[in-house]
Structure 1
Amino acid sequence: MHDKALINVDVAEAPFSSNDRRRRGRGDKRTLEFAASIRATFEPVVQVSLYPRSEIDVFVQVLQQDGGVLQAAINAATLALIDAGIALTDYVCACTAACIDTTPLLDLTNTEESDLPNLTLAVLPRSGRVTLVTMETRLHVERFEQIFKLAIQAGSVLHEQMRAAVREHTGKLVQSMEIATVGQGEGKDGAGDTEMYNP
């Protein structure tokens, strides 16, 4: 399709990123599944029609991990795409949730992911639409509903944190651009036309 952009996702894990020293190359099954999940998550969110005859590449390099790799990769990709100026219909906020007895858990470690039934969910907070749900173990229906609701709530909290981070980053960029503009307006004597920035 030439009328819209193609999204490519590449996931690589450093051999020192976890206690498991097995080298996971780009052809590793788990790595390929992560890449496919991330691509499927963002395809309905990125406004690909604005970038015809283009490719949008998302590179995920995992340097350290102790659980929650997929959720962290999705959240990082959201912020990276926003920082790159790629048009999105909404933020994508992901989290992993589980339940031990009657106690809900978020942001699981590797051990918890291995021992507990869990799910990873990606949600669009503005519409409440879910773009990804993955489970590697079976969940009872009642437990699923409980964990699902918890993950949705966590997505809303993540959204506020991500929005705050974007606003802070954007503010710093604007401030640095203003400083650079003032610097360009300075004459040889060091005096600049700074009055244009006064209220």
Structure 2
Amino acid sequence: MAGLELLSDQGFRIDGRRPHELRKIQCRLGVFKQADGSAYIEQGNTKVLATVYGPHEIRGSRGRALHDKVLVNCQYSMATFSTGERKTRPRGDRKSQEMTMHLRQTFDAAIMTSLYPRSQIDIFVEVLQSDGGNYCASVNASTLALIDAGIPMKDYVCACSAGFVNDSPLVDICYLEESSGGPELIVATLPQSEQIVFLEMNSRLHEDNLNKVLDQAMKGCKDIYQVINTAVREHVSTTVTSLGWET
């Protein structure tokens, strides 16, 4: 797909957004009562459900237990109907394993793991509809689910992607922009401290443009933080009101 198709002469992207604009984000906490924590998020047409169980005793081999911190166990999967191709996606396929590893690394850096030695926290992520930014939406949904479960973290974890077309950095890229073959930078940050916990670059990007794209992705993470922080506060306020507690 040619770059001119992704960004018009008037500065609009294929879905009508400006280069610096996020897709519309909608999210909810506490969607499953059976889990310790759960959340659902929509970023544009990408829809993700995350559930959290734990902390609990180590399941399976006791040899997996870590004496000084909690074991963070993640599982990423995509629903059969999540893309236009209706095909079975085994949970152990290479892409799912890669995403699972990335999620585990991300939350191992954000959860206050030393508080729960010799225990385990499970994070399950299911992509219900895929339109680009699967990792980012999965991180943002998992953050909300961990908050819903009451798991202490150093900060929110917010993830955002950015691309580069016609000398313009594009934030929160969709599937068509992802599949164009251009550069894509994926960042997960702790927004209040601006600490980067995950960074990945797909395709090549000249170093002169790297800072512009990284700054756009970092700003996207901060904008996402504002949205999900508002959702958390509204959820807590609603919960407190429904229980009849005074604030």
Structure 2 residue 133 is the aligned partner of structure 1 residue 68: yes
Q: CA RMSD in A?
A: 1.3
- In the other structure, the counterpart of 2:183 is 117
Q: CA deviation at 1:32?
A: 0.7
SS in 1 for 2:179: helix
Instruction: Kindly name which structure, 1 or 2, has the bigger radius of gyration based on alpha carbons.
Output: 1
- 2:71–2:121: 8 Å Cα contact kept in structure 1? yes
- Moved segments of 4+, more than 6 Å: none
- 2:172–2:220: 8 Å Cα contact kept in structure 1? no
- In the other structure, the counterpart of 2:153 is 88
Q: CA deviation at 1:136?
A: 2.0
Q: CA deviation at 1:2?
A: 2.5
1:11 to 71, 76, 82: 76
Structure 2 residue 234 is the aligned partner of structure 1 residue 168: yes
SS in 1 for 2:109: coil
Unaligned runs of 5+ in 1: 180-196
- In the other structure, the counterpart of 2:3 is none
Letter in 2 for 1:33: E
- Bigger proportion of residues as strand: 2
TM-score, length of structure 1 as denominator length: 0.86
Structure 2 residue 243 is the aligned partner of structure 1 residue 177: yes
- In the other structure, the counterpart of 2:213 is 147
Q: CA deviation at 1:143?
A: 2.1
Figure out how many residues of one structure are paired with residues of the other and give that number: 180
- In the other structure, the counterpart of 2:171 is 106
Percent sequence identity is 42
2: distance between equivalents of 1:97 and 1:83? 28
- 2:76–2:91: 8 Å Cα contact kept in structure 1? yes
Cα deviation code 1:140-186 (max 9, x no counterpart):
1122211101011111111111111110000011011117xxxxxxx
Unaligned runs of 5+ in 2: 1-65
Q: RCO greater where, 1 or 2, for CA within 8 Å and sep 6 or more?
A: 2
